[in-house]
Structure 1
């Protein structure tokens, strides 16, 4: 059996090379007018706002997502809201399983009238294929009823994200309610939103098996020459 040395070298190079994948971006920001908004995300009642989206068949690793917020509802007196970011599976009416959560963050919008871009890095979160998820911000568990209410505002646009909608929950800060009770789904609207996804990187075992196969080819070739 003759072994094509160039082919073996090429396969070995492919096995050792770091894979490079192009990002897929789910976004409606280019079609958002930069001013349309939904008021009401607060530290008391409407404590949860988010956006649903649906993964495809290949690009399922969520690297980050972005919302746009302002504090202009209470311009001159508003504060930043402390919140946690989440990604959860969506069953059509509510979240069903949290797959990622952040530490406590602050919106940083203060009393600005200008929308601020709020990026959330999810650190290569691997999601399921062809599955609906919800990315959301929630103040649940971070404030007490006696605290002064703070309200921030999300950018809002017409529904342009396939398989997604803007959603919110009047869960009054009780996180457990988010998986028990249906959320309000704003059909026909999306939050101003973007998410960056890439394809899953092959498991290291895939490369090990390929290199092992190349090794066996080399052994067989040496035996034939012996």
Structure 2
């Protein structure tokens, strides 16, 4: 084989270029099966979406508050924020006995663990995960490096798992509503956020599409109402 062709082949097979996991690897490890939403799933998706949108709004608001504080003295204050995030992870681990990586990571493995075995998580552990990871997420957005997408997906999924025992809801419906609402509230691209959640649901995507769409629309509208309301209040105050 000519050297040039061999060189091109090495470039094509360089890790990180084309040797990436397929999109199917995004799918959560849910128990196989099919499900169709009932009226309870559709109704519960509305309050779940509102709670998720409010939570993401709080995270982003805290991040905006932290950002100028850190930017004023980044060399000294960035490590302080990192210590605060570490404290969130340690508090979660001490109070629940679970791995602090649940709080410190982006949340992909944590969401998979919650979705595949929700019985292994107590309600107290899920609540503490929401609080500590939400706080760490906000601090990281305001000062440290990190993307806003998958932590929001994880927090939405945890919220959905926490809401799953509600009458007529169930785990799949809760996950679908929570993930869709939190992702749409965190991303300025509702269509992309909806597609991401459907990919995560795998075989349940078709059945849960109405729940995902309702939660996405409610969160999108709520986010715009919150934003317009805050801007209007600031304009009136000025």
**For the superposition of Structure 1 and Structure 2, which TM-score range results when normalised by the shorter chain?**
under 0.3
Larger radius of gyration: 1
Bigger RCO (CA 8 Å, 6+ sep): 1
Q: Which has the higher helix share?
A: 2
More strand by share: 1
